[in-house]
Structure 1
Amino acid sequence: MENFSYLLHGFEIALQPYHIMLMVMGVLLGLVVGVLPGLGAPNGVSLLIPLTFSMEPVSAIILLASMYWGALFGGSTTSILFNIPGEPSSVATTFDGYPMAQKGQGTRALSLAFFSAGFGALVGVIVITLLSGWAAEFALKFGAPEYFAVYFLAFCAFIGMGSSSPGKTIAALTLGLALSTVGMDTVTGTLRLTYGFDQLLGGISFLVVVIGLFGLGEMLSTVEEGLRFRGSASAIEFGEVLRAARELPRHWATLLRSSAIGVWMGITPGGPTAASFMSYGIAQQASKPGERFGTGRPEGIIAPETADHSAGTCAMLPMLALGVPSSATAAVMMGGLTIWGLNPGPMLFQSQPSFVWGLISSMYVANVIGVILVLATVPLFAALLRIPFSIIAPIIVSICFVGAYTVSSAVFDLWLALLFGIVGYVFNKLRYPLAPLVLAMVLGNKAEHAFQQSMILSDGSLSVFFSNGLVGSIMTIALAVLLLPPALRLLRRGKSVEGAA
């Protein structure tokens, strides 16, 4: 009840006209940031922080948080319409969002994405409101072995339960893991896979890779087919938005499961990107036989978007309660708190209740504002599909290269984007999955660091991954997910051979 009274006081702060205006401005700015690949929410928030120095801390954090929500929404738009992820966490949305748009259902795809994103964010805020104390204690139980076990589970799920052949999945994962190791090892200081290029000392940017793989790779495939947009344009009907709203409750299991995954990955430092991939993979395995993901399945949009937004919202909790940011944007916001003279941690809830609960209340309001604004713009975004592809293709290519250059203002990144565009084209032609490659790039560095730290803690003994109930359970599930599906396939194949004989 104490939290409820604090929340009501927070709504008094959040519902002030000045703060509502800040929320609208923040969401609109975030939409622009999210639509432009390469800029991203962390960079957008960083650029906005200097403008908040003269503002009250609660007003400043409301503006920054609203921009964050808008960026998450905006990243889905280009993912669905043009196969260009505006945000790293929007990569998984391309797998079914873009095929649905190609079928002339761009409005439906965008509406499903935005409604499910709003649901995921709402669940995240409710968790922050109700379980702040418990969630902070749970996050403290995660050490290096537990983090590695979670990443290992994600890899095993793609190999054992993916729709592609295990061999192709392992090949894609291996390439992604190799790319994640490029640069200087932060533990030993040795250089790896740089081949004499000084530009690779800091590693290969994930955003440059996904811009090349998805944006430029798709352009190359389309050019091969004769500069024709592969699919019909979407009808500009707001009624399609309402039909998508009625359709969403039918996928309640996907919504709840993906929200839970997002909450977990947001509280622990998994992050929205890992949450969206994990949710997509689990939704794929939970689907009925014959339902092919990657062809425009609604669940393929709902699952990653719900997990992405619930994780992005819950990432605020460890930042506020523990002073431990679990995402890049949360880290930038934590830097803003210190600039404003606030110290994130357990005492922040006691010393600055108006600030904390004003922020939490603003999340409810900003989420509603964000959903309304993006749904109002769905017909406008869908209308872009009616532009002739010969006109819009050069614009898309320009956006890709501008986004790649924006990452670190390096010409070398433009060549890398082009190279990975060719890689994406080849993968599509040979029917190799891109999702495992991207997942390995996202988690490879984190998994390596967690493994190294685990080995240091245990003097090189692998038994550390079964040293307690939490890490042992996660590792057991991972091994089961890896080994059981192929074993069951072999068993069924043996029975079919016996039946034929």
Structure 2
Amino acid sequence: MANFELLMQGFGIALTPTHILLMVVGVLLGLIVGVLPGLGAPNGVSLLIPLTFSMDPVSAIILLASMYWGALFGGSTTSILFNIPGEPSSVATTFDGYPLARTGQSTRALTFAFVSAGMGALIGVIVITLLSSWAANFALRFGAPEYFAVYFLAFCAFIGMGSAAPLKTVVSLGLGLLLSTVGMDTVTGSLRLTFGFDELISGISFLVVVIGLFGIGELLATVQDGLRFRGVSSRIDPRDVFKTICEMPRYYATVIRSALVGIWMGITPGGPTAASFMSYGLARQWSKPGAKFGTGRPEGIIAPETADHSAGTCAMLPMLALGVPSSATAAVMMGGLMIWGLTPGPMLFTTKPDFVWGLIASMYVANIVGVILVLLTVPMFAALLRIPFTIIGPMIIAICFVGGYTVANSTFDLWVVLIFGVVGFIFNKLEFPLAPLVLAMVLGDKAEESFYQSMIVSDGSLGVFFSNYLVGGIMVVALGLLVVPQLSKLISHIKRREKVDSAA
């Protein structure tokens, strides 16, 4: 009941003309970011953060969150009309979305995607509304050892539950932790890894790194892949939209199942991409005999889109309540909060309730705005994609370098953008995940500080991380997430070898 009253107060903050206008602007910017290959939600949000420095935090986070929702919708548009996923989490949508659009049913395919995405996001926001206060109150019991255990849990979850090879995830995490140590040590006051560059004394800005990794890096990969736009009809027929909405109730089981997958993968570090693939696979397994996925099945569109948006929404819960982002975009948003002087975590709910509940209320409104705007603007963004990539590509490069420079008005940051653009391209080609690197950059100094404090309290004994049921339980879960998936893979490999040997 208390949450409901706080939510109503949040609606009073969110439903102002200024904030509604910011939602519309944010969704439109997000649609552009999601539609244009080479950009993406993490990069778009990081580019927008410097422009929000003069805004109050509530308005700024509403704008950034709205851009995030718009980017997710935009990625679906390109997946269905052009067979080009604008976002990694939209890849699974291409499997059935593009074939359905090729049959002349582009309106039906887009409506399935946008309505199911809106439903997934709505379910995710409801979960946040119900659990946020509980999660924040629970986190008030945390001290330095508990916080370090939570950060350790996040790192282990990325390694054990991520879709990439564990060793590659470890390398990505290690590089992120290394980058977070550059500059002055806040505990000892000594300089680390500056190599004589005065510009590195204050550290490496994670915003600049993200712009290089996700902006320049993705653009280089796009250019190498020889991108070609081959679109289908993008005219939206209102009658087809209404007919498709009337079809949605028959797929309620797919929506519920996919939303639950998205909720779990959003709260844990699985992320929207893993959620979309997992829900697509479950939809195939639960489908009727003879159902041919990959030919334009509605469930093949509804499942990944519902999971994608519910996961993207629920990723905000651990970021706000615990200060632990579970996706790259959530990590960038958390960095923005810290720049504005706000510390994500349980005390944020006590000290800044207007901020937290204004944001949660805006999620309800912004996702409704997103569904409406994306249906109205599909023809415009489809036309945008028909502009030659030789024009769009240089525009994206210019946006990235301007965004990198505006973070601190430093020409040195332009070199950082370029260097990490190459790093992002190499990581992309070698299939190293980028999200763990961003997570480690954001959490690295906080994890180090918590570890320092824990060692001071315990006189250097690691036993402090098992000193009570709470911290010990978190550490056990973290170690379990790290070890159990690897043991299950090893056991499966041994069983396959035994079958091969017995067959021989």
Q: TM-score, normalised by structure 2?
A: 0.69
For residue 37 of structure 1, give the secondary structure of its aligned residue in structure 2.
helix
Name the structure 2 match of 1:177.
177
The equivalences for 1:80-159 within 5 A come to: 94-97=87-90, 105=98, 112=113, 116=117, 119-120=120-121, 123-124=124-125, 127-128=128-129, 134-159=134-159
Q: Does 1:67 align with 2:60?
A: no
Contact 2:120 2:255 (8 Å CA) reproduced:
no
Paired residue secondary structure (1:377): helix
Bigger shift: residues 245-254 or 457-466: 245-254
**Letter matched to residue 458 of structure 1:** S
Q: Is the 8 A contact 1:80 1:110 kept in 2?
A: no
TM-fit CA distance, 1:182: 1.5
- Partner of 1:373 in structure 2? 373
Distance of aligned partners of 1:155 and 1:188 in 2 relative to their CA distance in 1, 3 Å threshold = same
Q: 1:397 offset after TM fit, Å?
A: 1.3
- Residue 233 of structure 1 is matched in structure 2 by 231
Structure 1 distance, partners of 2:202, 2:119, is: 36
Q: What residue number does 1:52 align with?
A: none
Other-structure match for 2:310:
306
**Residue 37 of structure 1, aligned match among 44, 48, 62:** 44
Indicate how the Cα distance of structure 1 residues 168 and 458 shifts in structure 2: closer, same or farther if over 3 A, else same. same
Shift of 1:399: 1.6
Tell me, what secondary structure is at the counterpart of 1:48? coil
Cα distance in 2 for residues equivalent to 1:289 and 1:257: 10
Q: Secondary structure at the match of 1:47?
A: coil
CA displacement at 1:422 relative to structure 2: 1.5
| Pair 390,465 (structure 1): closer, same or farther in 2 beyond 3 Å | same
% same residue: 43
Corresponding residue for residue 263 of structure 2? 259
Q: How does 1:102-501 map to 2 (within 5 A)?
A: 105=98, 112=113, 116=117, 119-120=120-121, 123-124=124-125, 127-128=128-129, 134-225=134-225, 228-230=226-228, 232-233=230-231, 235-238=233-236, 246=248, 250-259=254-263, 278=271, 280=273, 288=281, 303=307, 305-312=309-316, 327=334, 364-499=364-499, 500=501
Instruction: Name 2:297's counterpart in structure 1.
Output: none
Q: Report deviation, 1:27.
A: 1.0
Q: Is the 8 Å Cα contact of residues 159 and 482 (structure 1) preserved in structure 2? A: yes
Tell whether the 8 Å contact from 2:89 to 2:272 is kept in structure 1 after alignment: no
**Secondary structure in 2 matching 1:233:** coil
How many residue pairs get aligned? The number is 444
What CA distance in whole angstroms lies between the structure 1 residues aligned with 2:351 and 2:423? 50
Letter in 2 for 1:158: F
Sort the Cα spacing of 1:38 and 1:360 in 2 relative to 1 into closer, same or farther, 3 A.
closer
1:118 Cα offset (Å):
6.8
- The answer to whether residue 28 in structure 2 is matched with residue 21 in structure 1 is no
CA distance in 2, matches of 1:344, 1:163: 32
Displacement of 1:358 in angstroms is: 8.3
Q: What amino acid is the match of 2:171?
A: A
Residue 317 of structure 1, CA deviation: 7.6
Paired residue for 1:47, among 24, 40, 54? 54
Q: Does the 8 Å contact 2:62/2:359 carry over to 1?
A: no
Instruction: Provide the rounded CA distance (Å) in 1 between the counterparts of 2:193 and 2:187.
Output: 16
Deviation at 1:140, TM superposition (A): 0.7
Paired residue type of 2:44: P
CA contact (8 A) 1:158 1:281 kept: no
1:165 CA drift (Å): 3.2
- How far apart are 1:346 and its partner, in Å? 5.2
C-alpha change, 1:301 and 1:138, in structure 2 (3 Å) is same
- Counterpart CA distance in 1 for 2:166 and 2:427 is 15
> Structure 1: how far apart are the matches of 2:187 and 2:395?
42
1:267 corresponding residue in structure 2: none
> Which amino acid in the other structure matches residue 166 of structure 1?
P
Distance 1:464 1:299 in 2: 44
Cα 1:408–1:14 change in 2 (3 A) is closer
Please give the alpha-carbon distance, in whole angstroms, between the structure 1 residues aligned to 2:479 and 2:361.
Answer: 41
Q: Decide whether the 8 Å contact of 2:157 with 2:481 is kept in 1.
A: yes
Residue 391 to residue 345, structure 1, CA distance change in 2 (3 Å)? closer
Contact 2:144-2:450 at 8 Å conserved across structures: yes
* C-alpha separation in 2, matches of 1:484 and 1:317: 27
Aligned residues of 2:52 and 2:60 also touching (Cα < 8 A): yes
Q: Return closer, same or farther for 1:462/1:473 CA change in 2, 3 Å cut-off.
A: same
The two structures have a TM-score, normalised by structure 1, of 0.70
Indicate how the Cα distance of structure 1 residues 67 and 172 shifts in structure 2: closer, same or farther if over 3 A, else same: closer
1:429, distance to aligned residue in structure 2 (A): 3.3
CA contact (8 A) 1:127 1:314 kept: no
Shift of 1:193: 1.4
Residues 212 and 424, structure 1, Cα contact 8 Å, conserved in 2 = yes
Between the aligned partners of 2:76 and 2:210, the Cα distance in structure 1 is 14
**Aligned partners of 1:165, 1:360: CA distance in 2, in Å?**
35
Question: Secondary structure at 2:55's aligned position in 1?
Answer: helix
Mapped to 1, the partners of 2:209 and 2:390 lie a distance apart of 25
Aligned-residue offset at 1:305: 4.1
CA contact (8 A) 1:118 1:309 kept: no
Q: Is the 8 A contact 1:102 1:231 kept in 2?
A: no
Aligned CA distance change for structure 1 residues 328 and 431 (closer, same or farther; 3 Å): closer
Structure 2 counterpart of 1:124, which letter? V
Residue pair 1:315, 1:330 contacting (<8 A) in 2 also? no
Counterpart of 2:460 in 1: which secondary structure?
coil
Does the aligned pair in 1 maintain the 2:92–2:280 contact within 8 Å? Answer: no
Greater shift after overlay, 430-439 or 401-410? 430-439
User: How far apart are the structure 1 equivalents of 2:486 and 2:45?
Assistant: 39
User: Match of 1:255, as an amino acid?
Assistant: A
Q: CA deviation at 1:493?
A: 3.2
CA–CA separation in structure 1 for the residues paired with 2:341 and 2:397 = 35
Instruction: Identify if the C-alpha distance between structure 1 residues 419 and 14 changes in structure 2 by more than 3 Å, giving closer, same or farther.
Output: closer
Matched residue of 1:489: which SS? helix
- Which amino acid in 2 is paired with 1:157? A
CA 1:388–1:161: 2 relative to 1, 3 Å: same
In structure 1, how many angstroms separate the alpha carbons of the residues matched to 2:189 and 2:94? 46
**Does the 8 Å CA contact 2:174/2:437 hold for their aligned counterparts?**
yes
Deviations 1:389-438 (A, max 9, x none): 12211111112212222222211111111111222222233343334333
| Consecutive unaligned residues in structure 1, runs of 5 or more | 50-59, 84-91, 265-274, 320-325, 336-342
**CA–CA distance in structure 1, aligned partners of residues 119 and 68 of structure 2:** 10
- Measured after TM superposition, the shift of residue 173 of structure 1 is 2.4
**Whole-angstrom CA distance in 1 between matches of 2:149 and 2:53:** 32
Provide the C-alpha distance between the structure 1 equivalents of 2:451 and 2:280, rounded to a whole number of angstroms.
32
